[in-house]
Amino acid sequence: METIVNKVAESGIITLDLSPFIPTDEIAAFDLKPFLFREMILKEKDYRAALQTHDWQQFVGKHVALHCSTDAIIPVWAYMLAASYLQPVVCSVYYGTPDELSKVVINNTINAIDLSEYAGKRVVLKGCGDTPVPEAAYVAATNLLRPVVKSLMYGEPCSTVPIYKAK
């Protein structure tokens, strides 16, 4: 009887599933547009009063994208003032859109990966799974791993797309 050899298991390839690194914390938006007079002009006195009475508890534990969705000239201090109200209750405050913030949070999470397990190894970034992994995560992981791995691939250990191989 012939012995079946699992060449994938013997290859020494480490599979890295990025889905656990995709943050589950909610991303919320704080738009300055509703705080503007006629959605165009920031009146300092009215703005300060509105921020003081605003319900900040809706942002507890969330990552918040601070932006203005209308084409108005907003002074820098207005963003700073909103951030000062948000900071005590949120996970993080970021100037930009929710989509931009999502990419920043993913990048920060990926960059926290302990590289010691992957140094000098053949690594495949898992390509399929139940949790969708955005392109930003794969780019961040490639950027992080390329300097330390022997080779980097995408897909599954039985069917990979080569990305990088150390010389």
Report the domain count for the chain: 2
Is 43 domain-assigned?
Answer: yes
* 119 and 85 in a common domain: no
What mean pLDDT, rounded, does the chain reach?
91
- Verify that 79 and 51 share a domain, yes or no: yes
Mean pLDDT of 44-72: 96
- Per-residue pLDDT band at 8 (split at 50, 70, 90): very low
In a domain, 119, yes or no: yes
Find residue 12's DSSP bridge partners.
none
Supply the pLDDT for residue 56. 97
Flag whether pLDDT at 22 surpasses 70: yes
**Is 101 part of any domain?**
no
Burial of 110 (C-beta count, 10 Å sphere; 0-12/13-18/19+)? buried
The domain in which residue 161 lies consists of: 7-23+113-165
Q: Where are the beta strands (DSSP E) in the chain?
A: 13-16, 27-31, 63-67, 92-95, 122-126, 151-156, 159-165
**Residues making up the chain, counted from first to last:** 167
Q: Is 48 a domain residue?
A: yes
Q: What is the pLDDT of residues 61-71, one digit of tens each?
A: 999 999 999 99
Q: Domain for residue 146, yes or no?
A: yes
pLDDT by residue (tens digit) across 86-127?
Answer: 999 999 999 999 999 999 999 999 999 999 999 999 999 998
